[in-house]
Chains A and B, each alone.
Chain A
Amino acid sequence: MNLREIGTATKGINPREVVVAVGPAFGKDVTKSIMKVDHALILREILSGIEEQGATARVIRSLRTADLAFMAHEAAKLSGSGIGVGVQSRGTTVIHQRDLDPLSNLELFPQSPLITLETYRAIGRNAAMYALGDTPNPVPVVNDQMARPKYQAIAAVLYIKECESRIANAKSVELEVAFSYE
């Protein structure tokens, strides 16, 4: 996967678009999720989910913050449809809408070790449906009370790495995404 930065992210006017914000380190300083899944595969599923519903996707990189809610809320505000998705390097994901409070959201997937590639696709699909004005059934949230004892310390290490890639006061940048197939 090649993520090329093509300038400051701008506000879109296409009412059929979903903006996906990735974390400061995503696909760059960190390339795999907490479950060691390639970021390329994760992003490809989300984008495919959006496109298969007939919406368009735009990808931006958040530089100022690694906070999931704020990344995704910014994406929603830049999105022509008002719908955004946020993905951190460790894999935590949220679907957001511009007129919601930052810490409120449409759908949150807080336990990154439990999100499968199928779920990422479904998240993309639902985000597109919100953008097109539908009210989809929320993607089922998986719960495993043992994910915390197993992964929390690793999640902290990954977030520390994500934050090391932050640039204070920097605006989000638009990304051109190219997947390489072998």
Chain B
Amino acid sequence: MQTVKRSKRYEILDKRPVNQDGFVVEWPEQGFIAMSSPADPKPSIKVENGRIVELDGKPREAFDMLDQFLADYTIDTTVAEQVMAMDSVEIARKLVDVNVPRQQVLDITKGMTPAKVVEVLNHMNVVELMMAMQKMRARKTPSNQCHVTNVRDNPVLMAADAVHAGLLGFDEQETTVGVVRYAPFNALALLVGSQTARGGILTQDALEEATELRLAMLGLTSYAETISIYGTESVFMDGDDTPWSKSFLASAYASRGAKMRFTSGSGSEVQMAGAEGKSMLYLEVRCVMMAKGAGVQGLQNGSISCIGVPAAVPSGLRAVAAENLATMMFDLEVASGNDQTFSHSPFRNTAKMLCQMLPGTDFIFSGYSAMPNGDDMFAGSTFDSSDLDDYLIIQRDLMVDGGLRPVDEETVIKGRYQAAKALQAVFEELDFPPITDEEVEAATYGNGSEDMPQRNVVEDLKAAERILRDEITGLDIAIILAKRGFRETAERIFNLLKQRVAGDYLHTSAIINKDNQVISAVNDVNDYRGPGSGYRLSKERWEEIKNIRQALKPTDFS
């Protein structure tokens, strides 16, 4: 029936935020399909003399470089044939069953092929995926990571936002740049700001890989995750890379005692026109298994910057939860996404985020926007600084540890001021373009870059380049801060550098607490076995989560 008049109800629906999102129908030929494409291979394996000669229906002669890498470095040939003979539904049930210990599942996944992993995950609904995540996460204690960036790469604001994020409880902080040449400044501002909040916060500067490594080697950053890997050979080659070159890069970080994880995520092969008709999840499982084979400790996934692609197709967000779980099934740290915007709808954002927040992951967000989204140079995050109270109250409502804690305005103002003053001192000692008191004031009380006075960009860029040219290190910064009376921050930076030598935080899923102790999947292994086991809120942590600043007390009524 063709009508001219419009239904008022549909007019209202059309105006809802969700209808500004982009949706597409499944288009399997180009990989616009979330979890099962007709072109996905069927699980199979053949081992001869300890060598895999057939993988997921393909003989060894037909292997591409990913098949070869997975066959030679990831899959355990001693158990593969036995595992592959197991029923996929049975494996899916073991993932969910609280009576099956995590280790038993890890023993099974050692022998699985990518197609088998996908077949298992396809049997699970979203609640089952979350139940499995609760058990399979490597580190028992969940945590969170944030973005700290701004449109103008203003270093004073960045330091102030970093301290604020540290006070909120983010154990890892990630920055990037608007203009590439600012990169060393951003690393410096993040280091000074984060360590003003507390010792042990890990920081990174997401950049082109060689520059990122250089900054880590200087001790201005302490971890990296922007080491992209892909699920098809053609996309790998488009990026001028191979699984072997990425493994080499991974070992470069390890050799300098810096934590590192790979980055992948469903949809990237579609985005780069190289999906070869396979489902997003199948290609992502290949990435997960590549990370395992390369020997890196973890993976940032959950679609990441391509989230708009799986979010546009049916079951796409379930596929994102499934790829997070796949990472945990291979005993890897997972920074589970939720960083990049995929929806105009606050409902959709929250629904997606709960899939990671409720079961807990190593880092629920691999980039909560610690500042307004307009300043988020990763093109925005699903949640930003204006959503902080909603997030803190959801933690409280559901008695869930989302990694954050409420913090009062006065503490934040004090912290922001201290970080800006510390950076001011560093700039003065290094003879960089001065940070004025007016800028310190603006960064202390401001919300975003629009509240900051303009800096001389050309002079700042010259100074930023000097950091790399003169090889100014984290130790130099610690010495300057000690000299200028910022002893506590100086000591914290020094302690972080000591961790680089000790290397303990190279263990899977490592974070460092305020007492400079490493908490990882080695000394804090997830032992979830149903109610009463696994991670439970401690009394202290629950007190922290409960006491939001907005809650009325009986004494308020006297």
On A, residues with C-beta under 8 Å from B are 65-67, 70, 101-108, 110-111, 135, 137-138, 141, 143-157, 159-160, 162-164
Contact = CB atoms under 8 A, between A and B. Distances in A.
Contacts of B20: 146, 149-150
Max chain B Cβ within 10 angstroms of own Cβ: one of A147, A156, A162: A156
Contact of B309 (A135, A141, A152, A163): A152
A149 B343 contact: yes
Given A67-B238, A149-B308, A153-B312, A107 B179 contact: yes
Contact of B341 (A135, A149, A160): A149
B208 A101 contact: yes
Given A67-B239, A143-B377, A159 B344 contact: no
B306 interface: yes
Interface in B375-390: 375-377, 379-381
B341 A141 contact: no
A148 B240 contact: no
B29 to A, nearest CB: 10
Interface residues of B, number: 49
Given A104-B208, A146-B344, A153 B381 contact: no
A147 B341 CA distance: 9
B341 A156 contact: no
Given A135-B458, A137-B458, A145-B381, A152 B22 contact: yes
A105 B180 contact: yes
Contact of A145 (B207, B210, B311, B379): B379
Contact of B273 (A137, A138, A153, A160): A160
Interface of B: 20-24, 30, 32, 151, 178-181, 207-211, 238-240, 267, 270-274, 305-309, 311-312, 340-344, 373-377, 379-381, 457-458, 461
Contact of A162 (B239, B273, B340): B273
A85 to B, nearest CB: 15
29 contacts: A66-B273, A67-B238, A101-B208, A101-B211, A103-B209, A104-B207, A104-B208, A138-B179, A138-B457, A141-B179, A143-B379, A144-B380, A145-B341, A148-B341, A148-B342, A149-B341, A150-B20, A150-B21, A150-B22, A151-B22, A152-B22, A152-B271, A152-B309, A153-B32, A153-B308, A154-B22, A156-B270, A156-B306, A159-B273
A166 to B, nearest CB: 9
Contacts of B267: 156
Given A135-B458, A152-B312, A163 B273 contact: yes
B452 to A, nearest CB: 14
Contacts of B379: 110-111, 143-145, 147-148
A133 B130 CA distance: 56
Contacts of B375: 143
Max chain A Cβ within 10 angstroms of own Cβ: one of B208, B210, B311, B344: B208
Nearest to A70: B240
8 pairs of A and B residues whose beta carbons are closest in the complex: A145-B380, A152-B308, A163-B273, A103-B208, A153-B312, A104-B208, A145-B373, A160-B273
Contacts of B306: 152, 156
B205 to A, nearest CB: 13
